[in-house]
A and B are shown apart, each in its own frame.
Chain A
Amino acid sequence: MTYDFFNKLFGSQIVAALIQSLLPLFFFILPFALFAVWFERKVSAHMQDRLGPMRVGWHGWLQSIADILKLIQKEDIIATENDKPLFNIAPLLVFVGSYAAFAAIPFSSAFIGSNLDLGVFFIVAVSGFVVAGILMAGWASNNKYSLLGAMRSAAQIISYEIPTILVIVTIVMVTGTLNLNTLSEMQTGHFWNWMIFGGPTFGIAKFLLIPFMILGFVIIYISTLAEVNRTPFDIPEAESELVSGYHTEYSGMKFAMFFLAEYANMFAVSAVVAALFFGGYQSPIGYLGNLIGIKWFIPIEQLLWFTAKGLFFVFVQMWLRWTLPRLRVDQLMAACWKYLIPLAFVNLIIIGLITLI
Chain B
Amino acid sequence: MREYLQNIWTAVITIMIGMRVTFKHLFVPAVTIQYPDVKPQLPERERNRLYVNMDDCIGCDQCARACPVDCISIETVKGLPTEDLGKTSQGKKKALWVTSFTIDYAKCCYCQLCVFPCPTECIYMTDVYEFSEYDRDNLIYNFSTLTPEEAEQKKINYAQFEAEKAKEKAAKAAAPANPTAVKE
Q: Which residues of A contact B (CB under 8 A)?
A: 43, 45-51, 54, 319-320, 322-324, 339, 343
Q: What is the distance, in angstroms, from A178's C-beta to the closest C-beta of chain B?
A: 30
State whether the Cβ of B128 lies closer than 8 Å to any Cβ in chain A: no
Q: Do A54 and B15 form a contact, CB below 8 Å, given A48-B25, A49-B28, A322-B22?
A: no
Of B22, B23, B30, the contact of A45 (CB 8 Å cutoff): B30
In the complex, what residues of B have CB within 8 A of residue A343's CB? 8
In the complex, what residues of A have CB within 8 A of residue B19's CB? 319-320, 323
8 Å CB interface, B1-40 against A: 7-8, 15, 18-19, 21-23, 25-26, 28-32, 34
In the complex, what residues of A have CB within 8 A of residue B21's CB? 323
Q: What is the distance, in angstroms, from B21's C-beta to the closest C-beta of chain A?
A: 7
8 Å CB interface, B145-177 against A: none
Whether A54 and B34, one on each chain, are in contact in the complex, defined by CB atoms closer than 8 angstroms, is yes
Can you list 6 A-B pairs with a CB-CB distance of less than 8 A? A47-B25, A49-B28, A54-B34, A323-B15, A324-B18, A339-B8
Q: Do A50 and B18 form a contact, CB below 8 Å, given A319-B23, A339-B8?
A: no
Q: In the assembly, what is the distance between CA of A319 and CA of B26, in Å?
A: 10
Q: What is the distance, in angstroms, from B20's C-beta to the closest C-beta of chain A?
A: 9
Q: In the assembly, what is the distance between CA of A314 and CA of B25, in Å?
A: 18
Q: In the assembly, what is the distance between CA of A47 and CA of B28, in Å?
A: 8
Of A51, A54, A319, A339, the contact of B22 (CB 8 Å cutoff): A319
Q: In the assembly, what is the distance between CA of A51 and CA of B25, in Å?
A: 12
In the complex, what residues of B have CB within 8 A of residue A320's CB? 15, 19
CB < 8 Å A-B pair total: 38
Q: In the assembly, what is the distance between CA of A246 and CA of B43, in Å?
A: 48
Of B22, B31, B32, B34, the contact of A323 (CB 8 Å cutoff): B22
Whether B30 and A51, one on each chain, are in contact in the complex, defined by CB atoms closer than 8 angstroms, is yes
In the complex, what residues of B have CB within 8 A of residue A43's CB? 26
Q: Do A324 and B30 form a contact, CB below 8 Å, given A47-B25, A48-B25, A319-B23?
A: no
Whether B18 and A323, one on each chain, are in contact in the complex, defined by CB atoms closer than 8 angstroms, is yes
In the complex, what residues of B have CB within 8 A of residue A50's CB? 30-32
In the complex, what residues of A have CB within 8 A of residue B18's CB? 323-324
Q: In the assembly, what is the distance between CA of A54 and CA of B36, in Å?
A: 12
Q: What is the distance, in angstroms, from B8's C-beta to the closest C-beta of chain A?
A: 6
Whether B26 and A47, one on each chain, are in contact in the complex, defined by CB atoms closer than 8 angstroms, is yes
Q: In the assembly, what is the distance between CA of A47 and CA of B23, in Å?
A: 7
Q: In the assembly, what is the distance between CA of A319 and CA of B8, in Å?
A: 20
Chain B residue with the shortest CB-CB distance to A338: B4
Whether A46 and B15, one on each chain, are in contact in the complex, defined by CB atoms closer than 8 angstroms, is no
Q: In the assembly, what is the distance between CA of A48 and CA of B28, in Å?
A: 9
Q: What is the distance, in angstroms, from B15's C-beta to the closest C-beta of chain A?
A: 7
In the complex, what residues of A have CB within 8 A of residue B28's CB? 49
Q: In the assembly, what is the distance between CA of A45 and CA of B23, in Å?
A: 12
* Contacts A54-B34, A320-B15 known; 11 new A-B pairs at CB < 8 A: A45-B30, A47-B22, A49-B30, A49-B32, A319-B22, A319-B23, A320-B19, A323-B18, A323-B22, A339-B7, A339-B8
Q: In the assembly, what is the distance between CA of A342 and CA of B159, in Å?
A: 101
Whether B34 and A324, one on each chain, are in contact in the complex, defined by CB atoms closer than 8 angstroms, is no
Chain B residue with the shortest CB-CB distance to A343: B8
Q: In the assembly, what is the distance between CA of A51 and CA of B37, in Å?
A: 14
Q: In the assembly, what is the distance between CA of A320 and CA of B22, in Å?
A: 9
Q: In the assembly, what is the distance between CA of A298 and CA of B32, in Å?
A: 43
In the complex, what residues of B have CB within 8 A of residue A48's CB? 25
Q: What is the distance, in angstroms, from B39's C-beta to the closest C-beta of chain A?
A: 16
Q: In the assembly, what is the distance between CA of A54 and CA of B31, in Å?
A: 14
Q: In the assembly, what is the distance between CA of A320 and CA of B19, in Å?
A: 7
Q: In the assembly, what is the distance between CA of A322 and CA of B19, in Å?
A: 9
